[in-house]
Structure 1
Amino acid sequence: MFIRNETFYSFRKNYPVITWLTAIHLILFLWINLSRITGGLIPLGEWILQNGAGVTGAIQFNGEYWRLITPIFLHEGTQHVLFNSISLILFGPALERMLGKGKFIVVYLGAGIIANIATTLLTGFSYSHIGASGSIFGLFGVYLYMVLYRKDLIDAMNARIISVIAILGIVMTFLTPNVNILGHLFGLIAGAALAPAFLKNARPFTVMEVHRRVPDDEIGFNPDRWKKRRILNGRKASRIVGWIFVALVIIGIISSLF
């Protein structure tokens, strides 16, 4: 469920919602920061940040309720945007396939909005926050609900993986400075609360359904199947190495800029 070995093309084709959400993260992040670097030659960077951040006072006193949604798409720091985007790429695809595009968007945004509402109600008027962390923790909440109550949707190995990651995420929430603790915790709770309704007709995620090569009504035998399997495994390994290399290059470039 959580191992990615697709090419960029196949990932974009199989998980369009994840692709678009990640693209929005990166585009807005680069827009804001390049606007600063160029001294405003790229316009509206600061305007996007100032008018999109979740400022408690602006929401409560000025009725700027769009700020309950817009922070989900905004990031300012390199580590922040990379952590959330990579988490979305790793943990989002299985849920996009299991829930369907529409339900996935509702759960993702719903968890983030609930987390932002909790932040607005429980913090001071000057508190400001951005980031998709509430939505990301919402995905963890959905998975944890599966682990506890819908074991038919997740196997034991992936259940252990998501449990460890969720626990580490909660621990790091309290150890990392300048983190919206309320956003993380209420995002997790929101995801678990939304899960029963949205997982009602869900089926377990299987890679074979995503990458089916033979039609359902076609049965065939290929004497070279073992040879092809070795070739495919080699290609998968190459893709993984390629993805890691690309990620490291991007991180290095962005880190040198900011």
Structure 2
Amino acid sequence: MFSRTESFSQYIRLYPVVTFFLALNILIYLVTIIPVIGTQVLYAGVGVNFLISDGEWWRLLTPMFLHGGIMHLLFNMFSLFIFGPELEKIAGKARFLTIYMLSGIFANIATFFLQAPNYQSLGASGAVFGILGAFGALVYYTKHILPQLRQIILPIIVISIVMTYVQPNINATAHIAGLIVGFLIGLSYFHPKRIVSWKSKKR
């Protein structure tokens, strides 16, 4: 399910939303490593709670497209590259877009309300955890139909949560909030009645 065997062109054609977010995050990271300009872009977009309080509301959105280093970027983009396509295929482009964006935004909102005024954050991990949360909802509805999905997803979610609290300098608030939001949206999207409705409309 999560092994990617598509060619580059097939991947782009089959998973346009995932491809868009991969390209956007990589492009913005490349901009941020340009001397002077990159520093200005980071300063303008990083999530800083007291600046959000002062009215810079865009910082509830922009942090999910910024990364603090190449390893930070690679970890999040690798996760998106592996897990994103299957969710985009199952949920559809618009629903995947909703899961990704709302999980990332609410992760930043939770960070704003639950962390100190001087707290700073950036990264796409809240949105990525939203993808895992949505898969968790799918497991909830299909646990007796697709036991192999449960065997794959649940250990990944558990390990991801553990690593959140083991690694230093991790915004655990964003990770957990993104996971919860993705799960709640997934409960709505993957409800059996909705699945039946989608199938009937495609006939």
> Is TM-score (shorter-chain normalized) higher than 0.5?
yes
Q: Which has the larger radius of gyration?
A: 1
- TM-superposed CA distance for 1:202, in Å, is 4.2
1:48 equivalent in alignment to 2:41: yes
Give 1:103 deviation, angstroms: 1.3
d(CA) in 2 for partners of 1:82, 1:115: 20
Query: Aligned letter for 2:66?
Result: L
Q: Where does 1:33-112 land on structure 2 (aligned, <5 Å)?
A: 33=33, 35-36=34-35, 40=36, 44-60=37-53, 62-112=54-104
TM-score normalized with structure 1 length = 0.72
Question: CA offset at residue 138 of structure 1?
Answer: 0.6
Q: Distance in 1 between matches of 2:148 and 2:189?
A: 23
Deviation of 1:54 after TM superposition, in Å, equals 0.9
1:197 pairs, out of 173, 188, 199, with 188
What CA RMSD, in Å, does the superposition of the two structures yield over aligned residues? 1.5
Distance 1:128 1:76 in 2: 11
Give yes or no for contact 1:138–1:190 (8 Å, CA) kept in 2.
yes
1:236-257 Cα deviation digits (max 9, x unpaired) = xxxxxxxxxxxxxxxxxxxxxx
CA-to-aligned-CA distance 1:146-198 (integer Å, 9 cap, x gap)? 2123337x722232111111111000000000000100011111111111222
Instruction: Tell me the SS of whatever aligns to 1:5.
Output: coil
Amino acid at match of 1:57: F
Cα deviation, residue 6, structure 1: 0.6
Report the CA distance between 1:71 and its aligned residue: 0.7
1:128 corresponds in structure 2 to 120
Q: How does 1:2-17 map to 2 (within 5 A)?
A: 2-17=2-17
Residue number in structure 1 paired with 2:201: none
Q: 1:143 aligns with which of 135, 146, 161?
A: 135
1:194/1:9 Cα in 2 relative to 1: closer, same or farther (>3 Å)? Answer: same
Show structure 1 runs of 4+ deviating over 3 A: 200-203
> What is the alpha-carbon distance in structure 1 between the residues aligned to residue 12 and residue 150 of structure 2?
26
Output aligned runs, 1:89-238, within 5 Å.
Answer: 89-151=81-143, 155-200=146-191, 201-202=194-195
Give the secondary-structure state (helix, strand or coil) at the position aligned to 2:184: helix
Q: Secondary structure at the match of 2:123?
A: coil
Instruction: Report how many residues are paired.
Output: 194
Unaligned 5+ segments in structure 2 are 197-203
Q: What SS does the corresponding residue of 1:163 show, helix, strand or coil?
A: helix
- Shift of the 110–188 alpha-carbon distance from structure 1 to 2, 3 Å rule, reads same
Q: Quote the Cα distance in structure 2 between the aligned partners of 1:57 and 1:91.
A: 34
Pick which of 63-72 and 172-181 moved more. 63-72
Query: For residue 24 of structure 1, what is the amino acid of its counterpart?
Result: L
Q: How far does the alpha carbon of each residue in 1:26-78 deviate from its partner, in whole angstroms, 9 at most, with x for none?
A: 11111111x13xxx3xxx31121111111111111x11111111111111211
TM-score if structure 2 supplies the norm length? 0.91
Structure 1 unaligned regions, length at least 5: 204-258
Cα separation, 2, equivalents of 1:126 and 1:111 = 23
Separation in structure 2 between the aligned mates of residue 202 and residue 178 of structure 1, nearest angstrom: 39
CA contact (8 A) 2:46 2:121 kept: yes
